[in-house]
């Protein structure tokens, strides 16, 4: 069985993330979306909230699971017996960052292959950071996230004001 991980902070999960997950789910027997518990960035949602939002978003994808993890991504990959890591690329800046991480991961865990999927053109610009900013300023975010995420995000940014 070929197992792949798709790691990230997913704060929150977007339609761009779902596009990558849906496409990756067709390539592997099992895809595990790994929600990183403690990234070095300011998060709007707790790990528990991010996991739940992601689980609801992938409910129609039978071979996709969502799990949280801490520590090195390669240790998570080893723990779940993944052979491949999936990443989405939006622009050249993503490539440079992913390349650096891939080279480090290759040195630490040579058996883990990296598969990068190009973002769908309609999501090239989309990031969780931009999404949160648009939501906090009252922007229409319905085309960028699943309905359940939009509702929770609106409530969350409203409560932070």
Residue 108: the pLDDT is 93
d(CA 84, CA 71) in angstroms, rounded, equals 18
42 is catalytic: no
- Say what angle helices 147-160 and 128-136 make with each other, to 10 degrees: 60
Residue 160: the pLDDT is 72
d(CA 88, CA 118) in angstroms, rounded, equals 6
User: What is the longest distance spanned by two Cα atoms in the chain?
Assistant: 47
| φ/ψ (deg, to 5) at 69 | -150, 160
Report angle CA 43, 126, 70 to the nearest 5 degrees: 35
128 is catalytic: yes
The CATH number assigned to the domain with range 3-125 reads 3.40.50.620
90 is catalytic: yes
Q: Which one from 17, 50, 87, 132 is the annotated catalytic residue? A: 17
Q: Which one from 50, 87, 128, 132 is the annotated catalytic residue? A: 128
Question: Could you give the 3-state DSSP secondary structure of residue 51?
Answer: helix
Q: Which one from 50, 87, 90, 132 is the annotated catalytic residue? A: 90
Where exactly are the structural domains of the chain? 3-125
Give me the sign of the Cα torsion angle 155, 61, 120, 29: positive
Q: Which one from 41, 78, 142, 158 is the annotated catalytic residue? A: 41
Residue 96: the pLDDT is 82
- Expressed in angstroms, the distance from the first to the final Cα of the chain is 47
Mean pLDDT, consecutive 10-residue stretches, the chain (161 aa), reads 96 97 98 90 93 98 98 97 95 80 92 95 90 93 96 88 54
What are the start-end ranges of the E strands in the chain? 3-8, 30-36, 64-69, 84-89, 113-118
Residue 97: the pLDDT is 83
Residue 19: the pLDDT is 97
């Amino acid at each position: 069985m070929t197992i792949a991980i798709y790691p990230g902070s997913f704060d929150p999960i977007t339609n761009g993330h779902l596009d990558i997950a849906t496409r990756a789910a067709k390539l592997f027997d099992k895809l595990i979306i790994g929600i990183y518990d403690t990234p070095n960035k300011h998060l709007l949602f707790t790990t528990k909230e991010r996991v739940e939002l992601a689980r609801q978003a992938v409910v129609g994808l039978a071979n996709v699971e969502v799990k949280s993890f801490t520590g090195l991504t390669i240790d998570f990959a080893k723990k779940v017996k993944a052979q491949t890591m999936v990443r989405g690329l939006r622009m050249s800046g993503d490539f440079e960052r992913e390349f650096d991480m891939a080279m480090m991961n290759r040195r630490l865990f040579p058996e883990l292959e990296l598969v990068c999927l190009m973002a769908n053109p309609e999501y090239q610009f989309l990031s969780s950071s931009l999404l949160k900013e648009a939501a906090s300023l009252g922007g229409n975010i319905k085309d960028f996230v699943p309905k359940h995420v939009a509702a929770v995000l609106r409530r969350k940014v409203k409560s932070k004001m």
